[in-house]
Amino acid sequence: MNRHIAGIFFLSVLLAAFSSCTAPGSGSKIVINEVLVDNQENFEDDYGVHSGWVEIFNTSYNSVNLAGCYLKVSSQPGDTISYFIPKGDVLTAISPRQHALFWADGAPRRGTFHTNFVLSKTSDNWVGLYDSGRKLLDQVVVPAGVLKTDQSYARVSDGSDEWEVKDDSETKYVTPSTNNQTLEGNPKMDKFEQHDSVGIGMTITAMCVVFTGLILLYICFKMVGKVSIKLRKRNAMKAHNITDKQEAKERGLGEAPGEVIAAISIALHEAQGADHDVEETILTISRVKRSYSPWSSKIYSLREIPHKK
């Protein structure tokens, strides 16, 4: 009885651990990635309302569930509002290197991603993210007077330590639910294009890779075939209690005739569902014997061609 109680207790502890907002793996981390305080003409929510928002980013390469976490906001000393991210919503699971957007509209009845607080437009905004055990995961202070309307305070790139003001310019634009920094090009590709503008090197490299792979596959299949033939012959010699390889070769042990290989190939082909119709497995051949009857003879036919005179 005590073992059953201990097992149930251990199982409940595991379920509580997995239901908390921690990622399944070591080194995973979720951070506050971008905050917009005064939203007038920026991104609008699913109700068509412009509100401030807080973006959370999953820096790990594992899925993270925010269910059970806390978002806390404070604009005055000693005045902290906590928003508990409810459980049961599948959308709280953030995929690897993806984002989640929470609306600071003070209307939690509108859904899971609508918080019970509103960001202050005149004071500093401290935003903290806590796990289900009230452990601080990440925090940021959005200074007052720095952000204008429809400007956000964000990390330079997703998950980086440096923050900047997104003023909606060509290089610093507000990015809700997407990457904070978009790369216009790939330095490695640009360097390769600089040294091989025509693409001859890329063509030769690609063809070398393809032919090398084909050669390796040929060698691999050839070796596997030889090993399988040796194993089949050895098993056949054991089954017939023969130790002399010459005698086994003369008797043809372990060598499958062509008919057997063809039958196996057809069976594998049909097993894969590639047969276009299903035939019966029994063939019945009956010999038909007809008896002569003058009534069916052509010589007594009435359709004779009349003779011309």
pLDDT 10s digits, 182-232: 766 677 777 877 888 888 888 898 999 999 999 999 999 999 988 888 888
Domain co-membership, 161 together with 129: yes
The mean pLDDT value for 119-136 works out to 91
Q: Mark which of 220, 235, 262 sits at the end of a domain.
A: 262
Domain count, the chain: 2
Indicate whether 292 belongs to any domain.
no
Residue 255: the pLDDT is 75
Indicate whether 53 belongs to any domain.
yes
State the burial class of residue 123 (Cβ atoms within 10 Å of its Cβ: 0-12, 13-18, 19+).
middle
Residue 290: band (very low, low, confident or very high) from pLDDT cuts 50, 70, 90 = low
User: Is the per-residue pLDDT at 8 higher than 80?
Assistant: no
DSSP state of 108: G
Indicate whether 45 belongs to any domain.
yes
Residue 23: band (very low, low, confident or very high) from pLDDT cuts 50, 70, 90 = very low
Domain co-membership, 156 together with 74: yes
Domain co-membership, 180 together with 250: no
User: Is the per-residue pLDDT at 28 higher than 50?
Assistant: no
Indicate whether 77 belongs to any domain.
yes
Which domain covers residue 161, as residue numbers? Answer: 28-184
What CATH number does the domain containing 176 carry? 2.60.40.1260
In this structure, of 94-98, 221-225, 261-265, 271-275, the range with the lowest mean pLDDT score is 271-275
Indicate whether 278 belongs to any domain.
no
Domain co-membership, 213 together with 131: no
Predicted TM-score (pTM) of this structure? 0.56
Per-residue model confidence as pLDDT tens digits over 131-186: 988 889 999 999 998 999 999 999 999 989 999 999 878 778 899 988 888 766 67
Residue 297: the pLDDT is 63
Residue 26: band (very low, low, confident or very high) from pLDDT cuts 50, 70, 90 = very low
Indicate whether 288 belongs to any domain.
no
Indicate whether 16 belongs to any domain.
no
Contact call for residues 58 and 66 (beta carbons, < 8 A): no
User: Is the per-residue pLDDT at 11 higher than 90?
Assistant: no
Contact call for residues 15 and 67 (beta carbons, < 8 A): no
171/154 Cα distance (integer angstroms): 13
Contact call for residues 24 and 63 (beta carbons, < 8 A): yes
